[in-house]
Structure 1
Amino acid sequence: MSLLIKGRATGNTLVELPQGALEYVGFSAYRLAPGEQLPVSAGTQELCLVLLSGRVTISGVEPGKGAFSWEDIGDRNSVFEDKSPFAAYLPPGSQARVLALSDVQIAVCAAPGSATAGLAARLITPPSMKRSVRGKGANTRYVCDILPDTEPAHSLLVVEVRTPSGHSSSYPPHKHDTDDLPHQSFLEETYYHRINPPQGFVFQRVYTDDRSLDQAMAVENSDLVVVPKGYHPVSVPYGYESYYLNVMAGPKRVWQFHNDPQHSWLMDL
């Protein structure tokens, strides 16, 4: 199975993870023109809608709690702006509608939910998101925690990362594919990539210690990379900058990773 899912140049769907490709993580991203609507149904899953760019109104109904509506939200025109996004958490059983008030790109992140957890639908605003700088030198990147494990959810973890021109990211290579807490957690993951300028590309490799999985990919704008297990570094060529939206989920909602021992010496530089 190829771990690279190509983005679509036309139509409302930018990219979509095929049904059943992963056990815990679901993902799709959409483009909407002004006035277009996107229906969203959580079913047995919990969802995090991430407004990548543009302005929308999100309205809907959640089980046992009635209607919700968040009017005219969104204030960035590109994922490469130095701004956090607006996002919305929807528990299982929720039904919602996204109405585009401008040209819009929006991601729908999904994972197993719990109908008994008592989690309510909520708007996640930019000021509530932790922003940080990770790495140093040509390993520096800029992180925004949209739905970290310190915020309420049953399975979902969502984070976005901007990586400057000529830098590496998700590096040194790390993995989280073993249920061995407190040392490492098992989390599947997807990477939704954007490139600036959009004709560029980045490189991503997904590999395991025994190389039973080892795929190196040239990733273009709006492509999706699937990480069922293994290490998964990203390299950005000179002249282009990278954005990716990560969705993670697994049996325990804890992000605890393990660096590749062959490259852990890089942490001492």
Structure 2
Amino acid sequence: MPNRTLLARSRTNAEGNDPVVQVTPQSAGWTYTGFEVYRLKEGECFSLDRPGLEQAVIVLEGTCHVSASGERFSSVGSRTSVFDNQSPEAVYCPPGAAIEVEAVTRTEVAVASAVTEEGEGPVRRITPADIPYEERGEGSTRRYIRHILDEHHPAKKLLLVEVLTPSGNWSSYPPHKHDTESENEAYLEETYYHRLNPSQGQAWQRVYDKQGLDEVLTPSDGDVVLVPKGYHPVGVPVGFDSYYLNVMAGHNRTWKFQIDSNFKHIAPKDGNIMGKVEQGK
């Protein structure tokens, strides 16, 4: 599998209703997961009307109004950077919801999607108080996770988390995979939307399995790594902080994974890599 199929580069000159980066099930060659990012100036808008998709609008930076299925949510989002120490806001949209986003300030908005004819509940706003915060790992594997839409939030397919990883640390570590259906693992297609601070940096992400897939990718600020299968650790170079937004969807909405057996000597004995979780921090 060549590198170009696993790395979607952002287009820095895109704006308005033209996505900066976009992944569809067709472009990725998989079944469920879609992802795109829009960067809007004050007053700019974009709209989406896509039947058969469960979607979530995540306001990464800035503030915007979000309308869907006749509901209008005013002034969604308040942080100026994904590196701010606060949670984002989002709007969950079940299939059939036509979406319109209008920027109040300069705004960066992600739209996560999953192919399904069913949703869970009506359109709703997801506030920082709804988003659990987790500190995971120790020392050079320490990172900070915000569970925007996890298994405890109603949805049919989508799982969404964002992760901040400090300079020089490892993330998505120990390496783990979720590409088969079994008692201890779930099939989940996954995208990683990478941001770097300072923005001229790059991260390293390896996507590999034990059957011959082995790609080392170097996402820059705004790029997306696709994980169709295999293990997928992230390394952050010294001098840069890393942010990434994960979108996952699969046959069943559960996050069950297997750790690479070569790394089990550093994994928790119970196999649970989750750290301390607090509600709505």
Which TM-score bucket, shorter chain as reference? over 0.9
Residue of structure 1 in register with 2:221 after alignment: 221
Which one-letter code corresponds to 2:23 in the other structure? L
Residue of structure 2 in register with 1:151 after alignment: 153
Residue of structure 2 in register with 1:89 after alignment: 92
8 Å CA contact 2:120, 2:156 repeated in 1: no
Residue of structure 2 in register with 1:106 after alignment: 109
Q: 1:119 Cα deviation (Å)? A: 1.9
* Cα offsets for 1:79-117 (capped at 9, x unmatched): 0001000001001111121000010000000002334x5
Provide the rounded CA distance (Å) in 2 between the counterparts of 1:78 and 1:231. Answer: 29
* Cα offsets for 1:180-235 (capped at 9, x unmatched): 02x1111010000000000001100000122x211001110000000000000000
2:53 is the alignment partner of 1:45: yes
Residue of structure 1 in register with 2:23 after alignment: 17
8 Å CA contact 2:25, 2:32 repeated in 1: no
Which one-letter code corresponds to 1:16 in the other structure? Q
Provide the rounded CA distance (Å) in 2 between the counterparts of 1:85 and 1:73. Answer: 9
8 Å CA contact 2:58, 2:109 repeated in 1: yes
* Cα offsets for 1:6-59 (capped at 9, x unmatched): 111111222111451121100001100000001022410100111000000011
Residue of structure 1 in register with 2:255 after alignment: 255
8 Å CA contact 1:165, 1:239 repeated in 2: yes
Any idea what SS the aligned residue of 1:127 has? helix
Q: 1:208 to 1:78 in 2, by over 3 A?
A: same
Aligned residues: 261
Task: For 1:177-196, list aligned pairs within 5 A.
Answer: 177-181=179-183, 183-196=184-197
Provide the rounded CA distance (Å) in 1 between the counterparts of 2:185 and 2:203. Answer: 27
Please report the RMSD computed on the Cα atoms of aligned residues, expressed in angstroms: 1.3
Which one-letter code corresponds to 1:31 in the other structure? R
Residue of structure 2 in register with 1:202 after alignment: 203
8 Å CA contact 1:44, 1:92 repeated in 2: yes
Provide the rounded CA distance (Å) in 1 between the counterparts of 2:120 and 2:262. Answer: 44
Which one-letter code corresponds to 1:266 in the other structure? I
Provide the rounded CA distance (Å) in 2 between the counterparts of 1:154 and 1:172. Answer: 28
8 Å CA contact 1:35, 1:101 repeated in 2: yes
More strand by share: 1
Residue of structure 2 in register with 1:77 after alignment: 80
Q: Which moved more, 1:9-18 or 1:252-261?
A: 9-18
8 Å CA contact 1:42, 1:90 repeated in 2: no
Unaligned runs of 5+ in 2: 270-281
8 Å CA contact 1:158, 1:246 repeated in 2: yes
Unaligned runs of 5+ in 1: 62-66
Residue of structure 2 in register with 1:64 after alignment: none
Residue of structure 2 in register with 1:168 after alignment: 170
Any idea what SS the aligned residue of 1:146 has? strand
Any idea what SS the aligned residue of 2:194 has? strand
Q: Percent identity?
A: 42
Q: 1:260 to 1:118 in 2, by over 3 A?
A: closer
